[in-house]
Chain A
């Protein structure tokens, strides 16, 4: 498996304070990585760093052996896609127009090509959003919005999906559907990195969990090794009980 992201001693500062300190890890293709940690641990910063949205950093943060800051932006956007945490739209774009924006890195023309339209169709089919393609994006429910945004990054045909809490506003069914979809994309070879607060989702779906605290990686391994009673107490200051379901998935109960 080829390595996509390679971070070594990466430091990100904001107004002189370290937000991320000496992060080092490698992320290969075909993996679903969950980033967990308490508020202010630097999860979103780490994600936006990898998304190429923060070009001022120290140390190494390479994508396919080339520093993220040196990638041509359009070429990078064809490789790496990013789903932000919040999303507010002021103007009347249809759901389909929002998805079509994902095709920007592929063409120079004023209009989308046939290939663009096919990619959009496929992405909207995958995310179950075709039913409201011409509705005003602002009129959709929070969960529908999130799926449309997911469709938009899928239309970007990326090799990497970076998601900042993709299931925050989703109902149970769509949480399971989205994570099932992310798993499937992984099997097709994508690297999926998702910030989440839901340790159960991380435990159930991720191949690997990276736990952050105060800008540092505390643990980085498979879910069972990272999501332990001790680690969670140490990092989140919460007592938990960890069980296993019959098919061997982690099941974490919060509080005592």
Chain B
């Protein structure tokens, strides 16, 4: 009963039935009164040639009324079906403009927000609605463009002074104490990274990040990314143990997926203890990536806020319905789990954009 068309058809059918019922009831009642209660004058002196009919017994009256009811029931059943069909047809025809508007709205995405909804037919009410929807789309397009421009302007405003500072430090490094020069360069690099990540989080959380869909071998990516962390972990006497099921292909944005992987491993290396275990598994078309490690009993971050790296992961994956991400610490172990849909190995890689 969720369809407006069905509800309108039922309403139309019920109205017709109600009217018919009132007429039928009135006819029945009036006829019964006329046949049983009215005392008709049976002689007409002024018209001696009139042929008279009538004089029904009680049984005959019941018979007549019974036939009337039977006839009413017999005709009304097909009438009900017919009114429902006609009602559904009229409702569907009346609501077709809404369906057309829906189809056009469905095709609108952030890249074509400047498109207008067009209806060549439709009643005045629909045209008014259409004007309002188009106004709304126009305002949405303006604010979306402004937001995109704002991000670009912020990036520009912040990156330009950073570029100047960096070039200055690089050029002046003969005159600066070496350790200071190195520290300054590292801090500038860190600041640049914070600016980049903040803009990325802002864009991702607003759902304005465009994922370049492509099929890639996640097993290969996991092994490649983990290699850097194996070397880094070995410096502090730790190890990264990778078990990646080969041939696990994923249709997603390789760059952002790599960033997720990188951030999770950085998190494990920076805030965890002991060996880092990386598992990549695939069962039919579902895949799972688990990264776990030991953590101090007393959390490093008492305020329970996310690190920037994890915040980036959350922001990147929140608008990806086919990727599920969960993480948390339990019994001195921290685990980050990413579940995703696997695909088959491509004959050739094709890029496709998706928000």
A and B held together in a complex: no
